[in-house]
Amino acid sequence: MRKLQMVFSFCIAASAVMAQSTDSAMFKRIADDVFTNSTGYENLRILCKKVGPRLSGSPQAAAAVQETYKMMKAMGADTVYLQECMVPHWVRGAKESALLVDAKGKTFSLNICALGNSVGTGKQGIKAEVIEVRSFKELEQLGVAGVKGKIVFYNFPMNPTNVETFRSYGEAGQFRGRGPSMAAKYGAVGAMVRSLASNIDDYPHTGTTTYNDSFPKIPAIAVSTRHAEYISAELKKNKTMQLYFRTECEMLPDVKSHNVIAEIRGTELPNEVITVGGHLDSWDLAEGAHDDGAGCIQSMEIIRVYKKLGIKPKRTIRVVMFMNEENGLRGGRKYAEVAATEKDKKFIFALESDAGGFTPRAFGFTAEAPVLTKLRNWAPLFKPYGVYEFADGGGGADIGPLRPLGTTLSGLRPDSQRYFDHHHAANDTFEMVSKRELELGAINMVLLLYVVDQYGL
């Protein structure tokens, strides 16, 4: 048995080597064409500058549907169509404001924004004593006696020592997500979180909070890291500072929106579907250039380059612009829900790019062990294009719901050092994206889709 296995492994390895020299020539053709002829960077400009911020339910989100539909049509996709889904419709309302007020009534204006999906204070705002905590344990120890009637300030900085910034985001992110309801549990009237940003700067970073229905929904904001540091220093001098803030955001009834889906039909195994995508919606504060205009643009590159080079996929390639990743994931859920009903099809593989348009370093995979082994045979071919690792684990929020269908998931992992300077903040703009970095990411995505299509899983 062991011997048979070895022979078997040898055969796989040998056929892989033979295939690889042809593939490496095709890889070069694809890469050269993207670096020379890609329209991605100019399309990203359209998404950022012509369309702009495109929060689910906004007119800009609808415009983004139209624009990307046109882009993929123009690239020559076999079909492009809209997939309807209902999305939350949260609106920020009038620009927020906040003041730190000392005992003498002296005020200091803070850079803040409402957290996504949060309730507003109404025009009159709220004013209360502010109490700083760095953990849920501290909050618990304060209890109702220490928290009731106050505004809880979660001041947990992203840990700078993780090379992978997403890890620090995960650690710090719980306060934005669960913090407001946890504060409400002890009677707080409002919550403020330190922005999830790598550096000390002046941008408040938004993002969703998730209310726990067992507790009152209290208004929740994010404050810039620089002002978080400032407030903390002031509170050390004077424990009874007050905070005033006003947010006029509100959650309106769900509205109709769409995923945009383009296909290149497979020539040999059209019922095996390979999905690739990014999310079309963005936060309302910025242009959503890195998050996730870049991923959308990179995902559609395969259409342009396949049509240009005359590559006909064996399997069906579906490029999806997912709606509503940011504050609902309705698009990703809808896509998987419909996929589950397409009984004649097998959703073998899905790739997402939603970690910024930065220089690529790796792919992550959620796959059974033999599939991961097979994928890793191809890894050396990617090294000349800057992807050095096929890592265990990964995917993306929008493609996650496909996993129960047995789909192998993958996520592009760009370098993450700059991501949280821009994420969900006003400086996530077109100018912050490097054309070559964007293209190099797109190249690696097309290359991965190419081998998966050619050889299956």
For Zn ion, the binding residues (CB under 5 A) are 291-292, 354
> Which partner, its own copies, Zn ion, none, binds residue 451 by CB below 5 to 8 Å per kind?
none
State the nearest-atom distance from the C-beta of 27 to its own copies, in Å.
11
The verdict on 272 binding its own copies (CB under 8 A) reads: no
> Which partner, its own copies, Zn ion, none, binds residue 291 by CB below 5 to 8 Å per kind?
Zn ion
Nearer to Zn ion, 139 or 289 (CB): 289
Nearer to Zn ion, 169 or 390 (CB): 169
Nearer to its own copies, 245 or 382 (CB): 382
State the nearest-atom distance from the C-beta of 419 to Zn ion, in Å.
10
Residues 48/294, Cβ–Cβ less than 8 Å: no
Listed in sequence order, the DSSP H helices in 46-164 are 59-74, 136-147
Closest to 315 in 3D by CA, of 343, 353, 347: 347
The verdict on 417 binding its own copies (CB under 8 A) reads: yes
3-state secondary structure of 196: coil
The distance of Cα 150 from the centroid of its chain, to the nearest Å, equals: 33
The Cβ of residue 445 has, within 10 Å, a number of other Cβ atoms equal to: 26
User: In this structure, what is the dihedral angle of CA atoms 307, 309, 311, 316, given to the nearest 10 degrees?
Assistant: -30
- Fill in the amino acid letter for 106: K
3-state secondary structure of 345: coil
Of the residues 389, 391, 455, 456, which one makes contact with its own copies according to CB under 8 A:
389
The distance of Cα 246 from the centroid of its chain, to the nearest Å, equals: 28
> Which partner, Zn ion, its own copies, none, binds residue 163 by CB below 5 to 8 Å per kind?
its own copies
The verdict on 386 binding its own copies (CB under 8 A) reads: yes
State the nearest-atom distance from the C-beta of 250 to its own copies, in Å.
36
The distance of Cα 310 from the centroid of its chain, to the nearest Å, equals: 32
Distance CA 394, CA 147 (A): 39
State the nearest-atom distance from the C-beta of 356 to Zn ion, in Å.
9
The Cβ of residue 95 has, within 10 Å, a number of other Cβ atoms equal to: 10
Q: Which of the following is catalytic: 67, 263, 287, 325?
A: 325
Distance CA 231, CA 233 (A): 5
State the nearest-atom distance from the C-beta of 299 to Zn ion, in Å.
13
- 301 catalytic residue (yes or no): no
The structure tokens listed for 421 are 């300077």
The verdict on 49 binding its own copies (CB under 8 A) reads: no
3-state secondary structure of 379: helix
Give me the 151-180 binding string for its own copies, x by CB under 8 A, dash otherwise: ---------xx-x-x---------------
> Which partner, its own copies, Zn ion, none, binds residue 427 by CB below 5 to 8 Å per kind?
none
**What DSSP state is assigned to residue 49?**
I
Residues that bind its own copies (CB under 8 A): 31-32, 35-36, 160-161, 163, 165, 198-199, 359, 361, 384-386, 388-389, 415, 417-418, 421, 434-437, 440
Which positions are annotated as active-site residues? 325
